[in-house]
């Protein structure tokens, strides 16, 4: 079955993190399976942390931004391939 791609967007501007804390492992690695509702990263906005969640089941194909990159609202964060 052909796979389709689904983009994960940041609804808010801020600083992107792939880890829950500096000394922790990343939420998810590229190539890992992901379920709808899974947290894949955090965006820090005005001293608050906003969880970025997958909106579909699939495989997290790639991240389009790096740890601590500064995001604009609507910017693409990751691509999930849906089987």
**What is the contact surface with other proteins in residues (CB under 8 A)?**
12-15, 21-24, 44-48, 68, 70
Residues 26 and 51 sit within 8 Å (Cβ to Cβ): no
DSSP 34: E
Q: Which is nearer to other proteins, 2 or 23 (CB)?
A: 23
- Closest Cα partner for 12 from 69, 74, 77, 78? 74
Q: What is the side-by-side strand order in the sheet with 14-17?
A: 48-53, 39-45, 14-17, 70-71
Shortest reach from residue 41's CB to other proteins, in Å: 15
Q: How far is the CB of 14 from other proteins (least distance, A)?
A: 5
Q: Whose Cβ is closer to other proteins: residue 31's or residue 47's?
A: 47
Whichever of 15 and 59 has its CB closer to other proteins, that residue is 15
Instruction: Supply the minimum distance, in Å, between the C-beta of residue 48 and other proteins.
Output: 6
Residue in the block written with tokens 């089987």: 83
């Amino acid at each position: 079955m052909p796979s389709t791609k689904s983009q994960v967007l940041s609804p808010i501007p801020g600083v992107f993190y792939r880890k829950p804390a500096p000394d922790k492992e990343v939420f998810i690695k590229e190539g890992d399976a992901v379920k709808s509702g899974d947290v894949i990263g955090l965006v820090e906005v005005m001293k608050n942390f906003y969880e970025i969640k997958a909106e579909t089941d699939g495989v997290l194909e790639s991240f389009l931004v790096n740890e601590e990159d500064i995001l604009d609202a609507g910017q693409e964060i990751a691509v999930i391939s849906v089987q």
